[in-house]
Amino acid sequence: MSTETKKGVISGSLPVILGQYTDYNFKFTEVEIPNARFVNGRKYPVAIKLTYTKNNEASDDDSRLYEELAQFVYDLSKDYDTFKTLVRKFGALAIKGFNSTDPENFSLFVRNFAKGSNLSEFKQNGIAHPREDVAKGGVTTVNKTTGFRRLYAHQELCRFKTYPSILTFFAKYPSKTGGDETLTNASELYNVVKQKYPEFIDAMAKKGIYLTQTWPLGQKLPNGKVYSWKSEHSFGRLIKEGDDLETQKRKAGEICKKYVSEDYEWTKDGGMKINEHTKPIRLDPYNKEPIIFGSIPSYYQKYKWNLENIGPNIPPAVTYDNGEQIPLKYLNFILEQSIELSFDYKFEAGDIVLVDNYTSYHGRTKYGDQRREILACFLDDDEQEKKVPIPFVSS
């Protein structure tokens, strides 16, 4: 083991981010992403790659590598705000060269990024499908309901009272084909909708929108899991074993009112129907660019699919907040453009992707029944520092 003392961060921002530590020297440099988009004069997304060298006396123990890397990540975050600055500037940041698919190493990385950046684990409530905890610090599985359908563009929990500001994803085992992370820039989406249908932007800004979603009492999923409002990450965080149904409902209601929506009801078959009222036309609080914040593409797509596959008597999943129907040509355009403008990020094993949950929609392409293990950890700002996208009406 070297007796040299660590020097720490040598350079904290691009073009070359450098650190010298006891056993390893680290470097992040920007790498080109083929076909990256260009939005409002900036690349979308941006990627950096980690390389490292081992000092002569360093042991072969890999765990030292990830401990020292975690220290570097913490120092960079605390003293230079390196990663948070990059993800907020570009909307999405891919980190390549991590060279590990071990969730514990990802957890160490993400906890140190969070701690140094004054972010903390966002406790998930109101999640649609069950998640499993995988590693410390809120590292969980992602929505694995089915790989046979695309997961359409959405911003995580954006229609709710509380939502995370930064999402992190980790490619433990990407599928061989498909299963790409789709990234759609919410400001680019705003720009194209505003250009084609300015009256739709105006109507959404003035009237707001209403979306609704019902969590079943208990529905078996093809993957063997149960889809229910009782799930821990849905509304079940306070439910204890032995609670009767009325108590379970009361506790789910408490979570709903605090974190999700004041407006909910119970359906005849024991489902929990959440009524969500939101203003989707907003300004990103950091760069003040207009965005569409509202997960309309994924909601509308579900409705469209139901219409085509179940029948015509389905109430629309999204309307203006005063109950007026939104013309389908607008919804079709927004859905179409969320796909058209998407950058499909092809995961390599060990990739880490940071997503600004305000500026960037995420989703994923189909991958069928292949093995695919992507992990996620959602982060939020310190309560005193938290800024949220601001509703506005353009003049």
For Fe ion, the binding residues (CB under 5 A) are 156
How far apart are CB 36 and Fe ion at their closest, in Å?
21
CB of 143 to Fe ion, least distance (A): 6
Choose between 27 and 154: whose C-beta lies nearer to Fe ion.
154
User: Which residues, 6+ apart, have CB-to-CB distance to 109 below 8 Å?
Assistant: 66, 69, 70, 73, 98, 352
Specify the residue, 18 or 128, whose C-beta has the smaller distance to Fe ion: 128
The three-state DSSP-derived secondary structure of the chain is CCCCCCCEEEECCCCEEEEECCCEEEEEEEECCCCCEEECCEEECEEEEEEEEECCCCCCCHHHHHHHHHHHHHHHHHHHCHHHHHHHHHCEEEEECCCCCCHHHHHHHHHHHHHHCCEEECCCCCCCCCCCEEECCCEEECCCCCCCCCEEEECCCCCCCCCCCEEEEEEEECCCCCCCEEEEEHHHHHHHHHHHCHHHHHHHHHHCEEEEEEECCCEECCCCCEECCCCHHHHHCCCCCCCCHHHHHHHHHHHHHHHHCCCEEECCCCCEEEEEEECCEEECCCCCCEEECCCHHHHHHHHHHHHHHCCCCCCCCEEECCCCCCCHHHHHHHHHHHHHCCEEECCCCCCEEEEECCCEEEEECCCCCCCCEEEEEEEEECCCCCCCCEECCCC
CA distance 95 to 74: 15
Closest approach of Fe ion to the CB of residue 108, in Å: 23
The residue among 95 and 157 lying less far from Fe ion, judged by its C-beta, is 157
Cβ-closest position to Fe ion: 156
The least distance separating Fe ion from the CB of residue 12, rounded to whole angstroms, comes to: 30
CB of 165 to Fe ion, least distance (A): 14
CA distance 190 to 341: 11
Residue 208, amino acid: G
Nearer to Fe ion, 156 or 380 (CB): 156
Q: What is the chain's alpha carbon radius of gyration, rounded to the nearest angstrom?
A: 22
Shortest separation between residue 156's beta carbon and Fe ion, angstroms: 5
Pairing relationship of beta strands 360-364 and 181-185 according to DSSP bridges: antiparallel
CB nearer to Fe ion: pick between 71 and 213: 213
Cβ-based nearer residue to Fe ion, 142 or 239: 142
Q: How near is the Cβ of 167 to Fe ion at its closest, in Å? A: 7
**Residue 156 vs 180, nearer CB to Fe ion:** 156
Please say which residue, 156 or 351, places its beta carbon nearer to Fe ion.
156
Q: How far is the CB of 209 from Fe ion (least distance, A)?
A: 19
Closest CB 384 distance from Fe ion, rounded Å: 27
Closer of 156 and 356 to Fe ion (Cβ): 156
